[in-house]
Amino acid sequence: MLMVDLILKKRSGHELSDEEIHFLITEYVNGNIPDYQMSAFLMATYFQNMTEHEATALAIAMRDSGKVYDLSSIKGIKVDKHSTGGVGDKVTLVLGPMVAALGAKFAKMSGRGLGHTGGTLDKLEAINGFKIEQSEEDFVKLVSKYNIAVVGQSDNITPADKKLYALRDVTGTVDSIPLIASSIMSKKLASGADVIVLDVKVGSGAFMTSLDEAEKLAEVMVKIGRLAGKKMTAVLTNMDEPLGHKIGNGLEVYEAIETLKGNGPKDLVEVCSEIGAYQLVDAGIITDFKKAKLKLEKTLTDGRALNKFREMVLAQGGKIDQIDNPELFLTAKKHEVLANKSGYVEKMITSDIGTAARLLGAGRLTKDDELDLLVGIDLHLKIGSKVEKGDVIATIYHNDKGLKEAEKILQNAIIIGPSKRSVTLIEKTIR
């Protein structure tokens, strides 16, 4: 088998076999296929697309290029979720304890964030002592005992995906739906869960800004997961405004804790209960979707979800004082941003709000950038909110870095006008 033949085959729009895809991934990881040939193949794929079967074979080949977690010793159905990324997305911190409190086995491997704010791991590291690095054996023990663990992905998970993504990043082939879908699903398949719910963000603060493109991506990922034997759901959620109010690692932990106490923002609770209900139904724990949502929301008011979060933090080495006194996450300097006119919040340029948080030190552009885990933004308004000139529309938490530029960006990103608008939070569900 020759790589040049596979390039020509894909360039002509033909479907590659499982064996051919396995060959090109295995040989590329082993160093027998040079970057220039793989770049040519990626570009051919970009223009000619892939069938669902090809995308599944690619995801499985990348999964098998490294370590695949075996969670079979954990009794019960293991559930997982993945978000395509957004501003203020602290869903895992709330969702995990909610479903775990009702008996689901929430086995979550997360990554670090690049861009607006940190990833789930960075948020958890705002909790003093929280240990994200766990062996496979300890990960299994934690989920078995507490129904929940959130840990860092092993360095040897999907090495093929890491190599391919680095190449896609410099060859203009990042935004190919089958390549995105197989990349995401390779990691999810390697993580070992039985039930996977995808939170596919769409809007001005998401990778996919149009509903049509987000829907296409979601459909491919769901089909890859099903062909690989997983129970799959994709929930398309709106990211035309940040989720919740707080953006920034420690601030988002604070808001997650408040939500687990029953005091959370409506949109965050809705997304968590929607995703969690599909997890519970597919895991066979609660068969009725509406009942599952109601029971999940009850865990936020009866203390069970908060207790499960405390259990997870303690089990993974975290200090409980910040959980019991979440104001400890709000110790950075504060600066108020005032409305320059009266009216309604008509629109938010969510990506710019995320950029403002990154300039404060809440996010990173490269993996080597250091985060300030206590800085960020507290947005006091949502789209449709009424505002008077001089009202405080946001509070910036800062340690001097990037303050002036962040404030300027925020003023331009929160657009006030005469019309009262609303946002549809759950755009679509694909099962």
At residue 113, does pLDDT exceed 90?
no
Domain 332-417 indexed as CATH 3.90.1170.30? yes
What are the tokens at 111? 């990554």
Q: Determine which one of 89, 122, 161, 282 is catalytic.
A: 161
Q: How far is residue 223's CA from residue 54's CA, in Å, rounded to a whole number?
A: 11
53 counts as catalytic: no
pLDDT digits (tens, 9 = 90+) for 117-171: 668 999 999 999 999 999 999 999 999 999 999 999 888 899 999 999 889 989 9
Q: Determine which one of 82, 123, 223, 364 is catalytic.
A: 82
Query: CATH fold of 78-324, please?
Result: Pyrimidine Nucleoside Phosphorylase; Chain A, domain 2 (3.40.1030)
Q: Which CATH class is domain 3-48?
A: mainly alpha
191 counts as catalytic: no
Q: How far is residue 121's CA from residue 126's CA, in Å, rounded to a whole number?
A: 9
Residue ranges covered by each domain of the chain: 3-48, 78-324, 332-417
187 counts as catalytic: yes
The pLDDT of residue 192: 94
pLDDT cut 90: percent of the chain above it = 91
What are the tokens at 63? 């999964």
138 counts as catalytic: no
Among residues 332, 371, 404, the alpha carbon closest in space to that of 116 is found at 371
Q: Determine which one of 187, 245, 364, 398 is catalytic.
A: 187
Q: Determine which one of 183, 186, 204, 351 is catalytic.
A: 183
Find all residues with CB under 8 Å of 36, minimum gap 6, and list them.
none
The Cβ-side half-sphere exposure at 428, using a 13 Å CA radius, reads 15
pLDDT digits (tens, 9 = 90+) for 188-197: 999 999 999 9
The DSSP string of 93-151 is HHHHHHHHHTT-EEEEEE----SSS--HHHHHTTSTT------HHHHHHHHHHHSEEEE
Angle at 294 between CA 275 and CA 288, to 5 degrees: 75
Mean pLDDT taken over the chain: 95
Q: Determine which one of 10, 78, 162, 168 is catalytic.
A: 168
Q: Are 121 and 112 in contact (CB under 8 A)?
A: yes
Find all residues with CB under 8 Å of 340, minimum gap 6, and list them.
389, 411, 416
Q: Are 62 and 182 in contact (CB under 8 A)?
A: yes
pTM across the whole model: 0.94
123 counts as catalytic: no
Which segments within 143-300 are labelled E, that is strand?
148-152, 195-202, 231-238, 246-247
Q: How far is residue 90's CA from residue 228's CA, in Å, rounded to a whole number?
A: 28
